[in-house]
Amino acid sequence: MEVQSGHAPGRVNLIGDHTDYNRGLALPVAIDLATDAVFTPNGSSRITVLSDAFPTQVDIPLSIPVDPAVLSTWEPAWSRPVAALVALVRPEWGGLLRIQSTVPVGAGLSSSAALGVSVAVALGATGTPRTIAVLCHQMEQMTDVPVGMMDPLVSAGAKAGHALLIDFSDLSTAHVPLPEDMDIVVVHSGISRELRFTPYGARVAECEAAAAVVGPLGAADDADIAGLRDPILARRTRHVVTECRRVRELAGAMAAGDTARAGRIMLESHRSLAEDFEVSTPELDTLVDRLASMDGVHGARLTGAGFGGCVVAITEPGAVDLEALGLQAWRVRPSDGAIPA
């Protein structure tokens, strides 16, 4: 019975939000804020979980069923992902699982995927980044969080110095080199959120309604948008269609080192998220405008699902004084995922 550990990064999405569950494209980056899980087996029939973010320990029996009715109501709520992974991975032995994290919760930097991937690896899950991501996606679905595959896939399979271009129609990936003379700055809007308490589920349902008419939105085109009679569904579809184009354009700009063009594409993405997909907030809009007006900032956009959380900006090195912003902020580095490339 050997000690096992998992180290999984959070992520910031440079572009391609609300495209993953629509079988579209995204370009996220794993960051140097991460979650570490260390599992020490002791031969018992339960796993005792200790987290640096919560004051009490949780005991999860190895026999916990693979049952969404049980897992989605497991208490305390923060331990539901761990309980689901115990059910799915089904480790041979019980023991002590210690979790530590530097990924802020509720900021849109995918603390849940970092937790899921690190715990899955620590409990003994093996395989490719895609295998681990599918497992963690199953965990999220079983705990009543309707997220897509982007977060666990980049947390598991990213490469330092690169973004991960993901095609969700087939889960294929490609590593896109990022300019070395570029900073990635993440700033918290001051509004935290938990996806299950936002209109995220409504946006998923709207996209499903549009897809029932035109097919997967990631493969739709301008003619499909024009054919939708419901104006709300047309706007949601327009965001996904144009966002997938912007993902390819941004990947090309990054690979070419054209940060000015990349910044313009990011600003276009934010407008689409705010106007067509309606997931921005006044705080996010104000923060994007503030950052975009600064010398040396190429572009900015909300990142993640929206409804609060963070803005990501690409800048010239050292252009933004993080302390002067008066908000929680990080200068992050593109980092490796949990599974070595």
Catalytic residue positions, numbered: 151
Give long-range contacts, CB 8 A cutoff, 24+ apart: 215-223: 216/22, 216/23, 216/169, 217/22, 217/23, 217/24, 217/241, 218/19, 218/22, 218/23, 218/24, 218/25, 218/168, 218/169, 218/244, 219/23, 219/169
The C-alpha torsion from 194 through 128 and 8 to 85, rounded to 10°, is 50
* Burial track 313-340 (b if 16+ CB lie within 10 A, e otherwise): bbbeeebbeeeebebebbebbbbbbbbe
Residues 115 and 110: their CA atoms lie apart, in Å, by 9
Specify whether the CB–CB gap between 237 and 210 falls below 8 A.
Answer: yes
For the residues of 250-266, what is the DSSP string, one character each? HHHHHHTT-HHHHHHHH
Residue 160: phi and psi, rounded to 5, are: -55, 140
Separation CA 135–CA 116 (nearest Å): 9
Q: Distance between the two ends of the chain, CA-based, in angstroms?
A: 27
Residues contacting residue 53 through CB under 8 Å, at least 6 positions apart: 78, 99, 101, 105
Are the C-beta atoms of 273 and 301 separated by less than 8 Å? yes
